[in-house]
């Protein structure tokens, strides 16, 4: 069965997200761990998480993907922002350890003129500070569009970060279809070729999640503006090929398209309808 869901508001807590997911026929979902543009976080509610864990088990909800705030930048040029990134990630992970089948996705960072090499070093240093051996939560580096000074627009950059991480079994990758297409990986024209390149450089065994988005901008634009499914430069056929690809079809897919809940429900139904039986 296709694992498909979307980004949900976390304002009502975990159980509320689980119920919302079920109501739109999603069996996975994503959410922000805290205010995405600030960093403020609500008190940890273990009762809610416990209730959610039971609900998820009963209702067949698989991997949930917690998204770090956009303000988390491990390779800022300001020490207090690097500290904020490290403390935020450490706190997010410790909370997520309570949540059933949780993974944590973050944007590697923007080096703000310090250079890709320096950025990679700082991102890996943060990961080496916060990851711990007993940790269950897998940490995913998101593939980026490469706008501005973003690190992670090239597969080689993700590889370089992973190479510097000590606890390598704690780290993986989340591929965003809009981002990689905008970054210049032609998943519409040559998905097999892009996946072969990903496999050679990063390793497909490191790929644990897909953000399934169409793109408002053309191939290679380095823009990062998501479009609803089938209405962008990727198009429905390309996205159909992605969800059905033998190397990808078992992964959880998360929609981050510009939609309200009803739109997400329709996109989930659409993608389920074009998912082919094995």
The verdict on whether 107 is a catalytic residue reads: yes
- The active-site residue out of 111, 179, 206, 208 is 179
- The active-site residue out of 211, 227, 264, 267 is 211
The verdict on whether 57 is a catalytic residue reads: no
- Please say which residue, 121 or 214, places its beta carbon nearer to Zn ion: 214
Please, which contacts does 86-92 make with residues 24 or more away whose CB atoms are closer than 8 Å? Answer: 86/126, 86/129, 86/130, 88/34, 88/39, 89/126, 89/130, 89/139, 90/129, 90/130, 91/41, 92/33, 92/34, 92/66, 92/68
- The active-site residue out of 107, 111, 159, 208 is 107
- Please say which residue, 18 or 69, places its beta carbon nearer to Zn ion: 69
Residues 157, 224, 227, 267: which binds Zn ion (CB under 5 A)?
A: 224
The verdict on whether 7 is a catalytic residue reads: no
**Residues at the site binding Fe ion, with contacts judged by CB under 5 A:** 142, 176, 211
Instruction: Establish if 142 lies at the interface with Zn ion (CB under 5 A).
Output: no
The verdict on whether 256 is a catalytic residue reads: yes
Location of structure tokens 């990063």 = 202
The verdict on whether 206 is a catalytic residue reads: no
The verdict on whether 91 is a catalytic residue reads: no
The site partner of 211 among Zn ion, Fe ion, none (C-beta below 5 to 8 Å per kind) is: Fe ion
Q: What is the size of the binding site for Zn ion (CB under 5 A)? A: 1
Work out how close the CB of 110 gets to Fe ion at its nearest, in angstroms, rounded to a whole number: 13
Work out how close the CB of 226 gets to Zn ion at its nearest, in angstroms, rounded to a whole number: 6
Work out how close the CB of 33 gets to Zn ion at its nearest, in angstroms, rounded to a whole number: 17
The verdict on whether 134 is a catalytic residue reads: no
**Pairwise CA distance, residues 7 & 1, whole Å:** 19
Among 77-85, 180-188, 223-231, 266-274, which window interacts with Zn ion (CB under 5 A)?
A: 223-231
| Active site residues per annotation | 37, 67, 70, 107, 142, 176, 179, 211, 224, 226, 256
| Footprint of Zn ion (CB under 5 A) | 224
């Amino acid at each position: 069965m296709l694992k498909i869901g979307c980004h949900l508001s976390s304002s009502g807590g975990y159980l509320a997200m689980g119920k919302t997911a079920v109501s739109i026929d999603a069996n996975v979902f994503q959410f922000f761990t805290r205010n995405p543009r600030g960093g403020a976080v609500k008190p940890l509610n273990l009762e809610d998480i416990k209730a959610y864990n039971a609900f998820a088990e009963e209702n067949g909800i698989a991997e949930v993907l917690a998204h770090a705030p956009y303000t988390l930048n491990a390779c800022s040029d300001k020490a207090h922002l690097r500290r904020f990134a490290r403390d935020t990630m450490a706190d997010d992970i410790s909370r997520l350890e309570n949540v059933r089948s949780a993974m944590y996705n973050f944007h590697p960072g923007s080096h703000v003129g310090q250079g890709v090499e320096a950025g990679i070093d700082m991102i890996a240093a943060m990961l080496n500070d916060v990851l711990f051996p007993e940790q269950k939560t897998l940490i995913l580096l998101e593939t980026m569009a490469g706008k501005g000074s973003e690190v992670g627009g090239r597969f080689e950059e993700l590889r370089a970060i992973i190479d510097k991480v000590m606890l390598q079994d704690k780290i993986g990758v989340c591929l965003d279809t809009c981002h990689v297409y905008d970054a210049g990986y032609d998943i519409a024209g040559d998905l097999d070729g892009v996946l072969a390149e990903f496999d050679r450089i990063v390793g497909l065994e490191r790929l644990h999640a897909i953000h399934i988005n169409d793109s408002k901008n053309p191939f290679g634009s380095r823009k990062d503006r998501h479009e609803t499914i089938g209405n962008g430069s990727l198009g429905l056929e390309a996205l159909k090929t992605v969800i059905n690809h033998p190397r990808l079809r078992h992964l959880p897919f998360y929609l981050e398209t510009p939609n309200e809940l009803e739109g997400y429900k329709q996109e989930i139904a659409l993608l389920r309808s074009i998912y082919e039986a094995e």
